[in-house]
Amino acid sequence: MKLLRELLFPAVAVLSAFLVGGVFVLAIGDSPIETYRLLIGSALWWPDGIGYTLFLATPLIFTGLAVAVAFQAGLLNIGAEGQLYVAAFAAAWVGITLAAWPPVVLIPLCMLAAIAAGASWAAIPGVLKARFGSHEVINTIMMNFIAVALVSYFTQYHYRTPGDPIMETAPIGANAHIPRLGRFITGFPERIPVNVAFLLALAACAFVYVLLWHTRWGYELRATGSNPSAAEYGGISIRKQIVVAMAISGGLAGCVGINEVMGYRHLYYDGFSDNYGFTGIAVALLGRNHPVGVLCAAFLFAILSRGGIPVDAFTQHVTKDIVQILQATIILFVAAEGFFRGAFKKFGWSR
């Protein structure tokens, strides 16, 4: 019953968002049913659809977990976007510089570089909050812009192949590539870019679950989030918790770089992120800051972004912008859940 109630609000929020999106579609003279049939059908039942959906879910699982871990500690990490940029570049940098090293060493090293870069970038606002009390929301927003500018500078001036008009680095060494899942599963075409990073994302969900709910440290982190003064009184160092929580959050966001650079493009492409960091906020919120919820929510948002492409192509007027409208409406409804709580109470469905 408790689980049912947990599921009720997110489900109602998603359905309401689809209703609002339907009104938008109707308003410009297209059919909502046809639009949603294309959107969901292409992501789930079309050939290759599910593979691409899993590929698109991978970064969202990482950023969703990142936001969720910070949130459990009472912090709002708006900076996953910047953290994943820095991390992706770090992975590419190691992959280019140490290209000749054997895969056994190079692959873990590239992964570590991404995680460490994301963690350090997130730790800065953590330290600033712990040491000076400056708000992590503002600092993570500012760090996003600094990250984008910094990485774009290195790409443009130091790591671009001379003569390449595109803002991208030289390719990483083949020893740093991680395989696509198609290589292991028969009948699963290798052209689909979903790769080992997806398995890593599933492992990250398990890691976060065990860490937060089955270790002493996770208990302290959640205590910091739910009642900081009581936690402090109980002998927990709030300042330390803030910095460590931000670092773990940033490390998780940094794993997006593993999927992007080592598993997919095999180079750093400037501006690659499709708002993964910000969508991660929606994923965490819809997933109730729990790893299982994050997994489901990431899958839903991946369906939306996969389905946006055929909607763009095969409807009269609807563009893939409908995806952003649906995402934003879902966040608004989940955030303002009092809206539904009031209505439910009126009908006697909820306490």
Determine the Cα–Cα distance for residues 331 and 325; give it in Å rounded to an integer: 10
Residue placing its CB nearer to other proteins in the complex, 99 or 332:
332
CA angle 271, 297, 40 (to 5 degrees): 85
Count of residues of this chain found to bind other proteins when the rule CB under 8 A is applied = 48
> Using CB under 8 A, which residues numbered 153 to 172 contact other proteins?
153, 156-157
Interface with other proteins, residue 137, by CB under 8 A? yes
285 is an interface residue for other proteins by CB under 8 A = yes
232 sits near other proteins (criterion: CB under 8 A)? no
| Subset of residues 33 to 92 that bind other proteins, contact rule: CB under 8 A | 76, 78
Tokens of 124: 């800065």
28 binds other proteins (CB under 8 A): yes
Q: Which range, of 44-52, 85-93, 209-217, 329-337, touches other proteins by CB under 8 A?
A: 329-337
**Shortest CA distance to 80 belongs to which of 203, 252, 200?**
252
- Cβ proximity of 288 and 295 under 8 Å: no
Per-position DSSP letters for 20-58, written without gaps between them: HHHHHHHHTT--HHHHHHHHHHHHHTSTTHHHHHHHHHH
Regarding 14 and contact with other proteins (CB under 8 A), the answer is: no
Residues 6+ away with beta carbon under 8 Å from 347? none
Token representation of residue 132: 């000076």
Residue 246 found at the interface with other proteins (CB under 8 A): no
d(CA 260, CA 258): 6
| CB of residue 138 to other proteins, shortest distance in Å | 6
286 binds other proteins (CB under 8 A): no
Query: Least distance (Å) from other proteins to the CB of residue 6?
Result: 18
258 contributes a contact to other proteins by CB under 8 A? no
Query: Applying CB under 8 A, does 150 fall inside the site for other proteins?
Result: yes
Residue of the chain from 8, 103, 325, 344 that contacts other proteins (CB under 8 A): 325
